Amino acid sequence: MRPEIQALPGSRIREVANAAMGRSDVLAFWFGESDEVTPQPIRDAAVRSLQAGETFYAHNLGLPELRAELAGYVGGLHGGAHGAVGDERIAVTSSGVNALMLAVQMLAGAGDEVVAVVPVWPNLTAQPAILGAHVRCVALRPGADGAWRLDLDELLAALTPRTRVLVVNAPNNPTGWTLTRDEQQALLAHCRRTGTWILADEVYERLSYAGGACAPSFLDIAGPDDRLVVAHSFSKSFLMTGWRLGWLVLPRGHLDAIGKLIEFNTSCAPVFVQRGALAGLAMAETFVPGLVQRLQACRDRLVAGLQALPGVRAAPAPGGMYAFFRIEGQDDSLALAKRLVTEHGLGLAPGVAFGAAGEGWLRWCFASRDPARLDQGLQRLAGALRAMA
Amino acid sequence: MRPEIQALPGSRIREVANAAMGRSDVLAFWFGESDEVTPQPIRDAAVRSLQAGETFYAHNLGLPELRAELAGYVGGLHGGAHGAVGDERIAVTSSGVNALMLAVQMLAGAGDEVVAVVPVWPNLTAQPAILGAHVRCVALRPGADGAWRLDLDELLAALTPRTRVLVVNAPNNPTGWTLTRDEQQALLAHCRRTGTWILADEVYERLSYAGGACAPSFLDIAGPDDRLVVAHSFSKSFLMTGWRLGWLVLPRGHLDAIGKLIEFNTSCAPVFVQRGALAGLAMAETFVPGLVQRLQACRDRLVAGLQALPGVRAAPAPGGMYAFFRIEGQDDSLALAKRLVTEHGLGLAPGVAFGAAGEGWLRWCFASRDPARLDQGLQRLAGALRAMA
């Protein structure tokens, strides 16, 4: 086995989940997934496709009609300064994580330098490592209020002409941190000078609680020839985690290369899955705003509950679906998360799962159909705090 | 973009298909896919799963029950010398090509030497190139009868202690060539000495026309700790091309590493797709033998028809679902395939799509529900030969 693969960190979230094996009464908030089933019209569309016998290979890049709809969807959200986004910039992928992997394969080879903003979903730093690239991390920092912030000057100083790719996920998993328009402008201008690609994981863009249809996107300000690749997923906004479908927005002229990479990685996404996604897009503007409203209510309820507990530092995330919080005096997040689940039946993700910068923190996914589950979880946390006091 | 990615060859099959764009009367035999819809019980199982709301993330390695069934299926075919294959050696993947990509990521990094037996499905040589490995090709050779053979001594001489991985696809796409048990024994013994991994693409193992339930497999002779990874797919034996589901058989002790790589590539396969696969496995021994019988009839009909044409060299393939044949005096397979489709409405894959070793040959997928389609295709080829004479 390659040493790079042996050295890849295993999931610390799974390590916590394994520690709870055999306990049937765990309230699990550790995965980045709502507990709501995919909406019926999406499932119905996939069922119809299966019944109609759409069981053959699809085009590498995705169904032409899905790519056209995605171009309209993306252009509708971000067409602003540079006009429509054409489908010659859209490729359908076998999940959001697969979209990111394809982009990394296209951009970062052995020995290349990649800069990543952390803490972050560990897949974003593992992917360049699999390709043999060197990953340098620039850490967000938490304020006394529990909100995480970027030191823009530090990030700009880290991005030099030797930097092939900047990997940035905003709204961020796990912290909820979101790039501002000014920060995006500064990063884009800087990366144009250094020749650095921006790989933007914007899968949480619709889960934005600052008003407006979505969080600021690099697509709002970049031109069609900028070195920008944006990765997207149907998982979060359409409650389609288990479907494994995502897409990439690429600069003009990169579709052939991505088509080849898709061929060599998964060849295509199932047609019946893509039919489900088409049904999702058709209901996007009636469904997504309601989902965001429900998630915002979940966030507010959970964060208020956390803030009311002694020694807990938590801030309402401007985007995403996580509360990332800290308990005073608790610095070993893996040990703490294991203790919470084994002794108190509360399943949270340890901050160290998202890199050393997240150590000491805990991630709580607040995407819950039934907000009472969050209250139950808060009660268990309160009990744990009393027991640990 | 990385130069390695820019240098990846695009699909020559797609180039031919593109040349036919706009012609509605093409008889297409260019893709490696039957024209039969997936069997109803498999589709029904996926439909039930979608209706039951199984739309959440699955385990990285696949549903435990599917892995258990696969272990039984693989062990039933190959348990022989070394006993059962346990599910601690089985990982479910997002297609057969994805299984191969995961194995390559695990084994071959930048600068590593990979030896591939060609002609071969181009994905097998592209994957190590994406990882930055060097691929050396050892070519099968066609006999005067049109059957392809391995020069075992040449292959053994190419495999040195510097060779990290031997990639071999048998039964082979496109030639139908199949490794004998003796050749497998010799390769395994040699690779044990050189420390070389064998990555065996055995997705066509059930499509074997030499008698017996399947073609010789490295799993019949290797132990659970040999450096052997076998890639499999539901696509061919269960008519599930569009579902994108495959699996890997790994040596003991490699499941954690593959689980991490799955997490970072696609995270998991959809549960409802895996439910379909479970239904497929449940009917394997009633369904697959009948499919193989039908394919053998297709093969015999097509090859007899080809052999009856003037100047055509074709042999019945011992395995797989392709006739790989040559027309005397035609050395440019891409030009010929384009001419056949644009002037005669016959869609075949050019041999050069499978590497330089396949140049001058054509691949015809004979997996057809209706054997009369093959006759129609043969008539068109006969017309083309008359026109070119």
CB A178 within 8 A of CB A211: no
CA distance B96 to A264: 10
Predicted local confidence at residue B147, as pLDDT:
96
Task: Give strand ranges (E) for chain A.
Answer: 27-28, 90-93, 113-118, 134-139, 141-142, 148-149, 163-169, 197-201, 228-233, 246-249, 312-313, 322-327, 346-347, 349-350, 361-365
* Same domain, yes or no: A233 and A320: no
A222 CB neighbour count, 10 Å cutoff: 23
Does residue B346 sit within a domain?
yes
Q: What is the pLDDT of residue A15?
A: 87
Examine the domain organization and report whether B377 and B327 are in the same domain. yes
Between chains, do B53 and A37 touch, taking CB under 8 Å as contact?
A: yes
How far is residue A316's CA from residue A178's CA, in Å, rounded to a whole number? 12
Q: Quick one: B99 and B231 in the same domain?
A: yes
| Residues B277, B294 share a domain | no
Rounded Cα distance, A54 and A44, in Å: 14
Can you tell me the distance from the alpha carbon of B212 to that of B206, in angstroms, rounded to the nearest whole number? Answer: 9
> Whole-angstrom Cα distance, residue A352 to residue A10?
12
Residues A182 and A292 both lie in one domain: no
User: Letter for the amino acid at B253?
Assistant: G
Residue with tokens 């979940």: A298
Q: How many CB atoms lie within 10 A of CB B156?
A: 17
Contact B131 A126 (CB under 8 A): no
- Whole-number Å distance between alpha carbons of B367 and B32: 8
Report the pLDDT value the prediction gives residue B81, as an integer from 0 to 100.
59
Look at residues A267, A283, A299 and tell me which one is the last residue of a structural domain. Answer: A283
Report pLDDT for B15. 87
What does the pLDDT read at residue B20? 81
Tell me: the pLDDT tens digits for A124-183?
999 999 999 999 999 999 999 999 999 999 999 999 999 999 999 999 999 999 999 999
Tell me how many degrees the CA angle B350-B354-B357 measures, rounded to the nearest 5.
Answer: 95
Please give the model's pTM, rounded to 2 decimal places.
0.97
> Which among A43, A57, A110 has CB closest to B109?
A110
- Cβ neighbours of residue A364 under 8 Å, at least 6 residues apart? A29, A302, A306, A322, A323, A324, A325, A348, A349, A377
Contact flag A5-B257 (C-beta cutoff 8 Å): yes
Mean pLDDT per 10-residue interval, chain A, length 389 residues: 93 86 88 94 98 96 97 89 84 98 98 98 97 98 96 98 98 98 98 98 97 92 96 97 98 96 97 98 97 97 97 97 97 97 96 96 96 96 94
Give the pLDDT of residue A80.
Answer: 63
Tokens of residue B199, six digits: 């990555």
Residues A110, A96: one domain? yes
* pLDDT for position A313: 97
C-beta separation of A217 from A77 below 8 A: yes
Hey, is A47 helix, strand or coil?
helix
DSSP codes, A52-101: TT--S---TT--HHHHHHHHHHHHHHH-TTT-PPPGGGEEEESSHHHHHH
Q: Which residues of A touch B267 (CB under 8 A)?
A: 95, 97, 123, 244
Are both B168 and B277 inside the same structural domain?
yes
Whether residues B106 and A131 touch (CB distance < 8 A) is answered with no
Q: Residue B20 falls within a domain, yes or no?
A: yes
Q: Is residue B81 part of a domain?
A: yes
B248 in a structural domain: yes
Backbone angles phi, psi at B283, to 5 degrees: -105, 10
B14 and B151 fall within a common domain: no
User: With an 8 Å Cβ cutoff, are B33 and A265 in contact?
Assistant: no
DSSP codes joined into one string, B112-175: -EEEEEES--THHHHHHHHTT-EEEEEE-EE-TTS-EE--HHHHHHH--TTEEEEEEESS-TTT
**Candidate from B5, B11, B256 with C-beta closest to A10:** B256
Question: Does the residue B58 lie in any domain?
Answer: yes
A271-282 helix and A64-78 helix, angle to the nearest 10 degrees:
30
Cβ-contact B357, B139 below 8 angstroms: yes
Half-sphere exposure of B345 (CA within 13 A, CB side): 12
Which residues in chain A have Cβ-Cβ distances shorter than 8 Å to B109? 2, 4, 110, 132
- Please identify every stretch of chain B with a pLDDT value under 70, giving residue numbers as ranges: 80-83
CB contact (8 A) between residue A266 and residue B98: yes
CA separation for the pair A51, B32 (Å, rounded): 23
To the nearest whole Å, the CA of B343 is away from the closest chain A CA by 24
User: B369 to chain A, minimum CA–CA distance in Å?
Assistant: 14
Domain boundary residue, one of B238, B253, B282: B282
CB–CB of A2 and B111 under 8 A?
A: no
In terms of domains, do A30 and A131 share one? Answer: no
Distance of CA A333 to the CA centre of its chain: 21
CB B99, CB B245: distance < 8 Å: no
Query: Both B89 and B190 in a single domain?
Result: yes
Supply the range of the domain harboring residue B197. 40-282
Q: Is residue B389 part of a domain?
A: no
Supply the angle between the helices A40-51 and A271-282 in degrees, to the nearest 10: 140
Question: With the CA atoms of A295, A296, A302 and A307 taken in that order, what torsion angle do they form, in degrees rounded to the nearest 10?
Answer: 160
Residue of chain B whose Cα is closest to the Cα of A57: B242
Distances (CA, A) of A295 to A124, A236, A321, A341, B33: 25, 11, 7, 24, 44
Chain A positions in Cβ-Cβ contact with residue B196 (cut-off 8 Å): none
Same domain for A128 and A78?
A: yes
* A216/A99 same-domain check: yes
pLDDT in the model for residue B120: 98
Of A251, A283, A315, the domain-final residue = A283
Total tally of structural domains belonging to chain A: 2
CATH code of residue A297: 3.90.1150.10
